[in-house]
Amino acid sequence: MQSRYDFSRMGPALFFMLCAVVLVGFVQIFLPFNRTFDLIMAVITALLFCGYILYDTHMIMNRLSPDEYIFASISLYLDVVNLFLAILRILGDQD
């Protein structure tokens, strides 16, 4: 399966967004935000890990060698787990 798009260019932007989400998470430990902001951060996190799934799938299919199957499977697994956790946060905030 081939794609016309080169998702490898998304890497730096995804990493920057991940650092921003982690930094906001640390700030939220000491200065709790309201539920609306929590929901917004959960949606941003879910979109971020959707981007990481695209990026890592592109890297697996086009850039990584077959010898790097452990790294590839772990990175894709972590993307799916983090996406699932973000979706749980979204659904948990809607009570």
What's the CA angle centered on 50, arms 36 and 5, to 5 degrees? 135
Three-state SS letters, 18-32: HHHHHHHHHHHHHCC
Q: What is the pLDDT of residue 50?
A: 98
- pLDDT tens for the chain, 95 residues: list them: 667 788 889 999 999 999 999 999 999 999 988 899 999 999 999 999 999 999 999 999 998 999 999 999 999 999 999 999 999 999 996 66
